[in-house]
Structure 1
């Protein structure tokens, strides 16, 4: 069930109410526990039973279950969320998202940290719209809160095991109970293994996409007295699976006339869910297939609470997260090394500390104020290989420099300080006003070096030669020295200028920079109850997302200049109505986001290598739309829920380079990428007593997304495209799709066990989540085909 609710204290549900509706859903959207119906924000909730029965365990599953939330995979495998049209498609490890993710209010500040946390949960809360006052400057799109199941005062245990298509085996279990009079504990774990689901188009017996991941969480709750509480969370995961391969769908030459015949003559990938291809060796890992993962993460989080008499509660949140990433991505769709990233190494060390004081939610005046600190260090290495590209052939022919690799290394230190406050006041029994503010000071220290690791160092020497030619100084740069940085000190603007004034223009070297910004986020609103079962709310808020440096392979300093912080002014109004003796719930919200300097990954024309990636600010854009949700439960055993989100997300003012390298394109009025106009979700759940203690159940879900695009201007196929796969009409388009899932099973009426069969994407819909341009090629990442299986679960 998804729901939009508003903040106001109401009486607890009576027992007669619960004859139709279960106990009230409790959420922490305002950093305190509240009935979902009392939160003056748009909030979608996925409960624990829903997560288990519908086999929701991945980031993509979560996005498919909530209209308005979209998921895509970046070229390095990092997840990218877009909520109500607000997202940031940038796959660098150090890139903050626009949709923040938390586990028990402890931040997972970077998308790569969030991959395997959806297990043993009480619920998942998705807060829609800017959440900058309570959840930080990087929540312009919203926040996703994982609420982990907590230790219990009595012994409890449970486990479930599933077997599905592609020999998928998943197991999940927990043990919980007291360790003493003041100490309780809970240990939960999850594992998933599966064979590869993609097949090679050139080696039909070869498979890719295997799953092999493990996750565990230990939670200790210590209450030495009624006024002091500690909750320690130790969790982590290990991923030894394989990154998904891509599908080659179009040719888009960079150095016209020099695309290798092995590429131009190769067939396009069949437009089928499982079809792909990948290389079995690379310069960086000889004899090892490029798609692989060897990543792990661990987190140590401590929540400390002290009640200060009857005044309120002092809460401390201390959090440390470490990630080690070592993976390879093959996104060219070829068995050849056309253009791929076989070397993606990095690590994240992130420390955060929040301290706040709140007075709870029982009185007419409710407040929370505090501050937090973050220090994150991120190291990333991107090793490219482009053996079969027009760059390799052109520079080998014209300059005798057939280079095929380069390695980019970035180091970033991000430091953030913030102070915040939030107040709600009941000026009447049915009228509440509210307001919040946060000041944030952020600093990002950045260093980048692109270097040549392949003797005889064709790339390094070539860039040094270009430095001498373009500067008119034959002695500016000598021969390339191994380990040196060869990026040139020049901007992306015309006429070109030096970026670092301490170096001569065009001189090769290391790019160093510091981005220092501050901002004030705020929100004001009102909640009104004209009748006990009707809630109305209105919010006006201003949010910010921090600026960012990219980690990309490039040739000039201008590519590494940061984007400035973006800002959004958000208007939202909504309602919630409980009708027909509490058997019908209707929710709606109307919103409009006015964006300035929105951050997008786009293209620029390099003076030597044609179009390359860059991140830029879009001067002005907007997102408008509405949510509608309904849940009807005509009997206790039958529930139908439906949700619909409409989005109108457009760029209002921007001129730049399109995905094919055409400069000076006016993008005014074009769509923002990854923002489908229509998103629909329908769920049906029915239970039927079968006699004795047995209960039969059946469930079905239908989720639809209309078409969208993956790049700015993606509704038009660039003129640089010279060939497309049969059936492809819009090269950078993401077609609309409809996915149908279902479950059928039996269970014990006391919830001690259940067994059911399930299916995902039952009708084997062919869909994809991303389309990317490589060097000379365009590829897409397809979603999973039909999967099905059986699950058995027991509880003690």
Structure 2
């Protein structure tokens, strides 16, 4: 049950993130029209026959939204989850890929000014100095390509200005959190404009070790920067250069140890004696001095993108978008929440990616509006990790029965991923107020993988030696340091490795698909839009990065598809003071890609699988109202019924079963996001403002089958893979100077210190959850010059 005080607050605070940026000039006006680029051209949001949630730059600043986790809290239908290695997992309307490998394509694609960030780890530091964030819901395959079966998130950077301007925002809060952001913008010459922006984030560790009360984790050390250059080379030729990057030396999050599921017959004598973590926001644990392991992070990223728009005639424009990016990562991640190493890892990774798109379009002022184009993407992803699992039941069992000591292992995973696509999209006005829409994209995707699990120690009684001596019975000879020890159990020769033999895994995947969309928009009068769409999108298959002992764990999953049926209405009512948007949808979800488990010699181990069929039904309602000048009230609500229809396998919790008619992970049935902003004059030159936000989410699960624990799970009185319902409440109050030249604000986030978590994972024998941040509060000052 939800606490009564939260229900009262939720009833009083009605505000939608989709319109939180609106700054209305009058009491009977919702505000200036919101412009979006959902169809790769500028349009009024009220004219777009699709569901698009928008967060404007002012709303981002006022609500202290600075990362994907904050954005997910503000947008109903969007869920964010921490993964064991820090890669964010996004799920939109129940469509998500629960996989943390660097090379895993997401189902919710992310862009900065239309330049893609093709892998999840690249998108964690993009929310600064923004004009707005657009969240496009539903398959976006026609215009945004495959890997957007759930939707797309577009970060629209604030652009260079015609006049010299500058500004900054600095805040100080709990845990010595200091966030500073600044920009300078203006002309360099008559045809050249520039904007430079930077952000710094610093915070002390907020997690408290359960076993070492003086030890802290969770410190933040981030630096981001962006340079934009806009050049009007001629009246018919415009170019935009975006150079951006970041450095992240923050700690990886430590989880909370909340359950134990013994995978092998003999338990380590220490782990079962360790008490479970207190259910408090700051409680956690990690290796520490005993294990010789501390969480850490060290990542860097930079991207260069160049866009050119050349008018070939009065009607046709050629657009070229070129992007190149590089990412490097080294980090240590605790995956079990224990002061011992049950399944901790130190990993290295890199990403190199090139993207090129060319398209022709005729703008938006004609009865027939069209865009045709082609693009190419080429990425190389290299990932390696050292695992330490000395305190697991598998090690204890092998030591007891065979005398080998399995303490460490290493994996390497190198993938090349390429795709080619051609696409066309059009809108045709059949009659006054009636528009037909249609589009299609053909995509060809190819990927190769080279994967090896090995033992880099010289231990003659270690992991590699045990597999070669005992599992393979000496048939592969003696183990040599660096030999690939995973065995071929696929029944056919792979990369020269015969069935039953160990070796390096190499394979390729080649797929193609046709994404498409069709729909009707009907505007019977100004301020009212009715629409109906049907579309299909695809997500490419991929290979996992896993600690494996058998080739079956390396197999790629095939591409998944979502066929979506959606209809909705956008209505401006009460003379423009009330905006109501509503949509209903049904998804036919085929071959959903899932990080699951398979049975091996070492017990239940990770693998990627396809879920044959799932369905998602849902409804969304958004309202925005300005009953009096300065007051904005709105709400965004999502209801989902996301079910697996056909799937037999092993759940993420290690439970083999038939999962037909079970619910899908990270798809809470109810989500409500609310926001209130009220600004009013207190003197002739000063305004005061107050605001508040609320986010409500019903319970969900972190893995397929998460409603049921394994038979030997401890404790038995809770769903170890469940995510409970929660409500978060934020508040803010402050004063603003003339023309909003400066703002001084006091803010608080999660003001009731609600304990909640966004993911629960099984790591060998341990079950751990990633808790959300506790109550934070502080003061911020912003100025514009």
- TM-score tier (shorter): over 0.9
Give the whole-Å Cα distance in 2 for the aligned partners of 1:270 and 1:672.
28
Higher RCO (C-alpha 8 Å, min separation 6):
2
Between the aligned partners of 2:33 and 2:331, the Cα distance in structure 1 is: 43
Q: Name 2:328's counterpart in structure 1.
A: 324
Matches of residues 495-514 of structure 1 in structure 2 within 5 Å?
Answer: 497-498=491-492, 500=494, 502-514=496-508
Shift of 1:467: 4.5
Which position in structure 2 is the counterpart of 1:612? 605
Q: How does 1:410-429 map to 2 (within 5 A)?
A: 410-429=413-432
The alignment partner of 2:575 has SS state of coil
Q: For 2:694, which of 702, 710, 714 is the aligned residue?
A: 702
Q: Deviations over 1:739-768 (max 9, x none)?
A: 000110000140100001001100000000
Select 1:742's aligned residue among 731, 747, 750: 731
Q: 1:651-666, aligned counterparts within 5 Å? A: 651-663=644-656, 665-666=657-658
Deviates more, 1:397-406 or 1:575-584: 397-406
State whether structure 2 residue 280 is matched by structure 1 residue 272. yes
Aligned length, in residue pairs:
767
CA contact under 8 A between 2:169 and 2:782: conserved in structure 1?
yes
> Could you say which residue in structure 2 is the equivalent of 1:494?
none
| Counterpart for residue 556 of structure 1 | 550
- Say which of 511, 520, 523 aligns to 1:526: 520
Look up the SS of the partner of 2:175 in the other structure. Answer: helix
- CA deviations over 1:415-462 (Å, ceiling 9, x no partner): 100000000011111100010000000000111000101221511111
Indicate the larger mover: 190-199 or 394-403: 394-403
Q: Which residue of 2 aligns with 1:334?
A: 338
Q: Tell me whether 1:639 sits opposite 2:632 in the alignment.
A: yes
User: In the superposition, relative to structure 1, how do residues 44 and 138 fare at CA in structure 2: closer, same or farther (>3 Å)?
Assistant: same
Deviation at 1:311, TM superposition (A): 2.1
**Residue in 1 that maps onto 2:317:** 313
| TM-score normalised according to structure 2 size | 0.96
Contact 2:28 2:627 in 1 (8 A): no
Aligned positions of 1:349-388 closer than 5 A = 349-388=352-391
Q: Which residue in the other structure is 1:579 paired with? A: 573
Q: Is the Cα contact below 8 Å between 2:541 and 2:560 reproduced in 1? A: yes
Shift of the 489–181 alpha-carbon distance from structure 1 to 2, 3 Å rule, reads same
Give the counterpart of 1:535 among 514, 529, 532: 529
- What residue in structure 2 maps to residue 298 of structure 1? 302
Partner of 1:262: 270
Give the Å deviation of 1:777. Answer: 1.1
- Superposed CA offset, 1:108-148 (max 9, x none): 00010001010000000000000000001110000000000
- CA RMSD in angstroms comes to 1.6
Q: Secondary structure at the match of 2:257?
A: strand
Aligned counterpart for 1:648 among listed residues 628, 631, 641: 641
- Which of the residues 586, 596, 620 maps onto 1:592? 586
| 1:499 Cα deviation after fit | 5.5
Partner of 2:457: 454
Check conservation: 2:320, 2:357, Cα contact below 8 A.
yes
Query: Is the 1:660–1:721 contact (alpha carbons within 8 Å) kept by the matching residues of 2?
Result: no
CA contact (8 A) 1:658 1:718 kept: no
Structure 1 counterpart SS, 2:320: strand
What is the match of residue 666 of structure 2? 674
Structure 1 residues 593-632: Cα deviation after superposition (integer angstroms, max 9, x where no partner): 00111111111111x1010011100011011101011111
Question: Which residue does the alignment assign to 2:761?
Answer: 772
User: Which among 589, 596, 600 is matched to residue 602 of structure 1?
Assistant: 596
Whole-angstrom distance in 1 between the partners of 2:313 and 2:627: 46
In 1, the alpha carbon distance for the partners of 2:294 and 2:502 equals: 30
* SS at 1:509 equivalent: coil
Distance apart, 1:4 and its partner CA: 8.0
**Contact (CA 8 Å) 1:282, 1:337: kept in 2 or not?**
no
Structure 2 distance, partners of 1:662, 1:711, is 11
Q: State the 1:19 CA deviation.
A: 6.2
CA–CA separation in structure 1 for the residues paired with 2:353 and 2:103: 11
Structure 1 residue 267: Cα displacement: 0.8
Instruction: List runs of 5+ in structure 1 lacking aligned partners.
Output: 6-12, 492-496
Task: Identify the residue that residue 9 of structure 1 maps to in structure 2.
Answer: none
Structure 2 spans left out of the alignment, 5+ residues? 1-14
Aligned to 2:781: 792
2:483 aligned with 1:490: no
Q: CA deviation at 1:722?
A: 3.4
| The one of 661, 667, 675 aligned to 1:683 | 675
Change (3 A) 1:736 1:548: same
Which residue number corresponds to residue 196 of structure 1? 205
Contact kept? 2:495, 2:507, Cα under 8 Å: no
